[in-house]
Amino acid sequence: MTKALDTATRSILITGCSSGIGYAAAHALSKRGWRVFATARAEADVKRLEEEGLEALALDLDSSDSIQAAVETVRERTGGRLTALFNNGAYGQPGAVEDLSRNVLRKQLETNLLGTHELTTLVLPMMRAQGHGRIVQNSSVLGIAALPYRGAYVCSKFALEGLTDTLRMELKGSGIHISLIEPGPITSRFRENAYRAFQAHIDTAASAHADTYQKVEARLAGSDSGGAFTLGPEAVVKKLIHALENPRPRPRYAVTVPTHLFAALKRILSTRGMDRVLLRSTKSERE
């Protein structure tokens, strides 16, 4: 039978804490008594997090040296014990699949999948040695349903889901639990960061999708406040707390209405039927 976590010694390493979900999670868990190692890539963000009272570290998921250094710092500061890891850091690379160069796709996978995987494998020995642990992967509605012009991000999240499902089975009996959180639209700087990636890596003028890209760019340049189904990062934090603190964490946590809806439709519709639903949901980008 799974035991509840020892609240006196619990600690967590979180990636992508400069803003959005990671930032909200770091502060919320700190208030709940967790020892939080909040990480960010930029030194300015690390300094800001420290000034806000968090134990902040530099961690760049694109760099093995940075990942290894952060884990070693956590190991030294905790005496080799870490209760939990929240793999939250990621970004979205918009663009039609045929416009994604090998290097651009590799860059997306380095951050969203390979860096996350490396970090996970480095903390697992600490968790195995102590006989327990929690790993939470921040996936996406795009980890269960594909949408056009988001192929790189979809690829990274589908892969993360598959890797996590495999790891969950391999960890059975170890005392280490792994969960996926699947948000839908969440208010954050995600769209702002995606717009920069789009401008940097997609040659819109030379693309067969040039007309559609005008709509895509307008969407990316717009407000990140979202629509009717968009929730704040605290909605994700609520699921995270359950995954970390409940004696029986769930394998998956859907967050928003679109995530629940697409997961249900995927179970009952044919592939062509699901395509029609998903294409209608992004119709404004193609008109």
Q: Which residues are part of the catalytic machinery? A: 153
How many other C-beta atoms can be found within 10 angstroms of the C-beta atom of residue 230? 18
Phi/psi at 43 (nearest 5 deg)? -60, -35
